[in-house]
A and B are shown apart, each in its own frame.
Chain A
Amino acid sequence: MKKIFCDIKKCMHCRRCELACYIKNADVRDIFEAVKLAEPPVKNIELIQMSDNSMPFICRQCDEPLCVDACISGALYIDKKLNYVCLDKTKCVGCWSCIMRCPHGSIRVSKHTALKCDNCVSKEKPECVNACPTGALALNEND
C-alpha cells in the first residue's frame, strides 16, 4: 500500500500542505474562498513543532486500522482498489469511536462527522503532495 512520507531534510515548514488540505476538505477553489466559510475548514495534515524539529503528521494508513474496527456504522472502510482507509461521511453519525481508538490522533471532528485523510483517493495524487514545493512529501510504496 502506498503511504505519504516526508523527507524532513527537504521540508521548509512552509505549511502549503496544510493549506492544500484545507482547500480540498472545504471543497472550494482557493484559500480566499476557504476563509470566507462560516465554519473554518479542517485539515488532515498538520505540521507539528516537536522539541528538536517540525514535521508533518497525517493518517498512517495502518495495515490493521483500529478506527475501522471501532466504527459502528460502516462509515470507515478500506478502499478495495488502493487499500486506503477511507471515510464515507454520509454514513458517519459522529459517535467518535474512531477518535477514541486512533493511536496517532489522526482523525478530526468536522461539523458533526469525523474526518480523516484518505490519501485523496479520488485524485491521482494527494493534494498535500502536489502542493509541496520542495518535493519533501511523496506518496510512496510502504517500505
Chain B
Amino acid sequence: MKRFIIIGNSAAGVAAAEEIRKIDNSSEIVIVSDEKGNAYSKCLLTYYIMGKISRSQLEFKDTGFYEKNNIKLVSGIKAVSINRKDKKIVLENKEDISYHKLLIATGSSAKVQNISGQKEGAAYTLRVIEDADKIAEKLKTVDSAAVLGAGLIGMKIAHMLKEKGKKVFIIARSNQILSQMLDAESAGFLTGHIGKEATVLTGQDVSEILYSNSKMAGLRLLNNEKIDCGMVITAKGVTPNTELARAAGLVVDKGISVDETMKTSDNDIYAAGDVAESTDLLSGKKEIKALWTTAVEQGKIAARNMARLDSAEQAGQEIIYAGAVSMNSMECFSIPCISAGSMHGETTEVFDYRKPGQAVLRRIFVKDNRIFGFVTIGDIRFAGILNRLLCEKKDISSIKNVFNSAKLTRANLLECIGEQGIISSMEKQ
C-alpha cells in the first residue's frame, strides 16, 4: 500500500493531509510532528494568552479530524533524518518509516536574540504553546513589559500586553513599525494612532537587561536611555526549519527550493509552508512567505501533485503554483489593517485617502495602470477586491481617478473586475 508521510503538523501539513485524502481514499497518510498533540494555530497564541480563546480553541480542526480522515498522527517524536535512497524517514527513537511520497512542512522557528545580561525569567519568545504558558505565568508578576521587534507578531504581542493591562514599550530597530507590512507613511500614521496605548521607540535596540536585587528592572537602550519593565518578549521574525532537508542533501537556499509543483530537488519529496520558497508574483524572485494562507495554498498544491501524478493517464497534469503575493492582515490596537504587495521603490504613483479626524487611511501604489501594493487602515472593506485587482494584474485606469477620494466604492471596484454578482447564468448569456 502507498504511504504518504508529512513531516509537520501545522497549516501546510494538515491542509496537505486533508487534500491527499480527498483524492486518495485508500493510501496510508502519516503526519509526524515533534510537538505533542493535535495541530494548533500558532497565530492564535496571543489571543490565547489574552484569554479570548481557550486552549482547545487553539486547535483549528474539528475534534476527530485525524480519525475521520484516517490520518495517522505520530506526535511528540522528532524526525531526525531522511534516507532518500531507501525512501525512509528516521525518527529520534531510531524507528524508521518508509514513504511513497514525502512532504516536508517543518515550518519555522522564532529567531532568537540574545541580549546582554540575559538571565532566566527575563527574556521570552512566543512560538509554541509552552512559550505562551510561560509568558502568561510571568505576566501575573509584572506591570510593564517591552516587545523587541515591531513586526506583525511583535505588534500582536504588544496588543495582547495592553489588553492584559500592562504598560507597553515597543522597540523597533528599523525606523518604523511593521516594516514588512507598511510603507513608512502608513506606519507613521498608525503609530500616531496607537501612541496613546503604547510607547513606540523606533530606530532603537536594547543594549542590556537591567536588574535590581536579581529581578529584572528594565532595559538599557542603545542611546543609553533606560526604560522600566519587568520582562521583555523578543519578536524578531522567524527562520525556516531547513536542517532536515539540508542534511538530506536537498537543494536549500533561503528555504527549501521547490519547483512550481512544490517538488524539491528529489522527485519523491515535496515541501510547503514557512520552510519552502515560493516565487513572488510581483518581483519574480524566490522568497519565503511565512504566511498562513500561503502555507495552506502550498500544502494543497503539493498534496494534489503528490497524490495524482503517479498514474500514467494524469502525467503532465501537474497543478502549477503561480506564486505568492505578500499580504498581511491584523487588528493593531483595535485598528484593523490589511496590506498587500509592494509599497516601495518600483511604483510610480501613490494614491492617498484619509478620513479627517479618524484612524482611516488608504494608500494605493500603482505602476503602468496596475496595482502593485495597497494599505488599508481603519476601513478594510475593499481590501479583498483590491487584492484581487493586484493578484490578477488588472488594468485599473478606469477607476484610478477616484483612488484618492471617498468616491471609490464597491460598485466601481466590482465593475473594474467585471464582476456580475449573482445574476443567474441564464441572463448572462
- Interface of A with B (CB < 8 Å)? 3-9, 46, 48-51, 55-58, 60, 66, 69-74, 77, 91, 93-97, 99-109, 112, 138, 140, 143
Contact = CB atoms under 8 A, between A and B. Distances in A.
15 contacts: A5-B422, A6-B422, A6-B423, A49-B411, A58-B421, A72-B44, A77-B62, A91-B57, A94-B331, A96-B330, A96-B338, A99-B329, A99-B380, A104-B385, A105-B385
A93 B53 contact: yes
A57 B421 contact: yes
Contact of B53 (A60, A91, A105): A91
Interface string B415-429: 101011111111100
A69 B57 contact: no
Given A7-B424, A100-B327, A105-B385, A72 B43 contact: yes
A93 B52 contact: yes
B280 to A, nearest CB: 17
B326 to A, nearest CB: 11
A73 B43 CA distance: 8
Interface residues of B, number: 48
Interface string B371-406: 000000000111111011000000000000000000
A112 B165 CA distance: 19
Contact of B423 (A8, A66, A103, A108): A8
B329 A73 contact: no
Nearest to B330: A95
B61 interface: yes
A105 B381 contact: yes
A101 B387 contact: yes
Contacts of B413: 105
A51 B60 CA distance: 42
A3 B425 CA distance: 12
Contacts of B297: 69
Contact of A50 (B61, B328, B382, B415): B415
Interface string B236-263: 0000000000000000000000000000
Interface in B210-245: none
A56 B383 contact: no
Contacts of A7: 423-424, 427
A7 B297 CA distance: 35
